[in-house]
């Protein structure tokens, strides 16, 4: 199901090393093909930037536009924040470095594979809904209020409920 980012990077490197391709000093950033513009509904622009970069590498190397799932990576970002933590609210802001670690650990999936109803959506409303639901579960009376109850199985169940996914 998840494809590793290494396959995208390998394709990009292979394309870039072919005969007749311009050398690095001849390529301008504006010459890079880019994927369709998407908008985030929460503060995870760092994941959208990484997805756009990887999608552009794929598009440049294959001529095929794909839609990587930022929601899938957000699911894992939330999972990492919840299991074994005592936090009382999710954080959505991060860095390229954190995003790279998520991708290396979990690969990528296409948005239509993770959330079929958002396959063609410009903005993921499930991310915003998931953030709200999970933060309410972290509040008093919520299933995640007690840090000792945050088992991997319970966190997966709640994340799947929040995103409308089936990772558990």
Range with top average pLDDT, 4-8, 49-53, 61-65, 101-105:
101-105
> Among 51, 15, 20, 46, which Cα is nearest to 35's?
51
Query: Which of 14-18, 113-117, 151-155 is least confident?
Result: 14-18
CB-neighbour burial class of residue 68 (10 A; exposed 0-12, middle 13-18, buried 19+): buried
Average pLDDT over residues 114-137: 91
How many whole angstroms separate alpha carbon 168 and alpha carbon 153?
7
Average pLDDT over residues 14-33: 53
Q: What digits encode the pLDDT tens for the residues 93-119?
A: 999 899 999 999 999 999 999 999 998
pTM across the whole model: 0.79
User: Tell me, what DSSP letter sits at residue 68?
Assistant: B
Top pLDDT among 59 and 22 is at 59
Query: What is the overall mean pLDDT for the chain?
Result: 83
The predicted pLDDT at position 36 comes to 66
φ and ψ at residue 6, rounded to 5 degrees: -60, -35
The predicted pLDDT at position 41 comes to 80
Q: Count of CB atoms within 10 A of residue 95's CB?
A: 10
């Amino acid at each position: 199901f998840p494809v590793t980012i290494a396959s995208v990077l390998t394709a990009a490197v292979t394309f870039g090393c072919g005969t007749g391709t311009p050398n690095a000093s001849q390529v301008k950033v504006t010459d890079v093909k880019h994927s369709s513009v998407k908008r985030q509904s929460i503060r995870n622009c760092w994941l959208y930037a990484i997805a756009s970069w990887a999608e552009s590498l794929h598009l440049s190397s294959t001529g095929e536009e794909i839609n990587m799932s930022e929601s899938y990576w957000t699911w894992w970002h939330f999972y990492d924040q919840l299991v074994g933590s005592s936090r009382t609210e999710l954080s959505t802001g991060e860095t390229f470095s954190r995003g790279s670690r998520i991708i290396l650990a979990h690969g990528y999936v296409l948005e239509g594979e993770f959330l079929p109803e958002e396959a063609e959506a410009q903005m993921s409303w499930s991310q915003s809904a998931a953030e709200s639901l999970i933060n309410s579960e972290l509040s008093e009376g919520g299933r995640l209020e007690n840090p000792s109850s945050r088992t991997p199985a319970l966190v997966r169940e709640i994340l799947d409920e929040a995103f409308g996914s089936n990772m558990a």
